[in-house]
Amino acid sequence: MNYNIAVLPGDGIGPEIIEQAKKAITAVGKKFNHTFNFNHGFVGAIAIDKTGSPFPAETFELCKSSDAVLFGAIGDPKYDNNPAAKIRPEQGLLAMRKDLGLYANVRPVTTFTALLGKSPLKKEIVEGVDIMMIRELTGGIYFGKPQGRSEDGNTAYDSCAYSRYEIERIVRLACECAMKRSKKVTVVDKANVLATSRLWRETAAEIARDYKEITMDFMFVDNAAMQLIQFPKKFDVIATENMFWDILSDEASVLTGSLGLLPSASVGTYTSVFEPIHGSYPQAAGKNIANPLGTILSAAMMFELAFNLKKEAEAIRTAVEKSIDAGFVTEDLNRSDPKSTSAVGDWIADYILGN
């Protein structure tokens, strides 16, 4: 098969980690007789520098015409440290989500046996954790209008709005995902305070009637934050709104012991985007020390969700797990004998080809 992949390395460590994912994808192509065409585009700070826009029209068209998008990270200190900047790299991410119709983000949170000691929580709490977190990505307070400040600058305001349709498609996606897992969905909201959360709860309860095999429960976001730390194994699929998920997913990510391990997928109307959950980590850019595993695992998600190539996805996941078992990992996971970003990418590609 022949596939076209839009590659958006972005900023900071983005180009380095994306290169390692490309190695794994190329190895899979050789092993399973597929052809992958990589077409590169700009997004984020580098796009601002080159075009004046954090998500140029050319990048949008490239993404729309591709079978999937492999994305690195965005962010640059020269914008982060300038509160007066009118154009920011993060605006490119929001524009990409909106323009490509990326309405849901899917993030698996799983632990690796060899790395249980890296988690800040006790082994018995995190061993066997396997959570799928599903986020509504284009609504809520991040996109709400009106938004702004008073004329004197002393008051600021944001708006949070949700339609039934936006909620329905997320909850249905969560239920379909749960049907392939343990058939349990937890909907996280703040229905005791927020009108939007009451609509979430009402809509989810209606959809649950269409999935008789699914057990659906509801949890206030503050309680969910506590229980993710106390009893993470009680969760299977979590569905929630944009900002709640943004916070809870970063909390859940520490269960694994490293942000660098976690992949994600953003499901869209035109195409889907696959990316690691971490940021651009500018302090490490160009040093060949960044952990590429989250990006490589994002490529595995791409094979499974965008291309329906399950054996190919499993080949990548197996190679990543073997590299972890062998201790052939970057300094965030092995300080006594760290390997470089590129060396880890080479090891995983070689393992895929040799097994």
List, by residue number, the catalytic residues.
142, 190, 222, 246, 250
Helix spans in 180-220 (H): 195-208
Residue 116 has, within 13 A of its CA and on its CB side, a CA count of 10
- Rounded distance between C-alpha atoms, residue 113 and residue 222, angstroms: 29
Residues, the chain, total?
A: 355
Q: How far is CA 355 from CA 27, 246, 325, 349, in A?
A: 11, 37, 16, 10
Asked if 117 contacts 327 with a C-beta cutoff of 8 angstroms, the reply is no
* Three-state secondary-structure class, residue 161: coil
Task: Name the β-bridge partners of 136.
Answer: 104
For the chain, the C-alpha Rg in angstroms (whole number) is: 20
Strands 2-10 and 35-40 come out as parallel
Asked if 266 contacts 104 with a C-beta cutoff of 8 angstroms, the reply is yes
Burial (CB count <10 Å: 0-12, 13-18, 19+), residue 93: buried
Identify the CA nearest to 296 among candidates 340, 341, 248: 341
- Residue 265 in tokens: 């997928």
- Rounded distance between C-alpha atoms, residue 348 and residue 355, angstroms: 11
**Positive or negative torsion for Cα 199, 272, 283, 110:** positive
- Rounded distance between C-alpha atoms, residue 269 and residue 251, angstroms: 28
Strands 2-10 and 68-73 come out as parallel
The residue whose two tokens read 């694994």 is 256
Amino acid identity for residue 58 in this structure? E
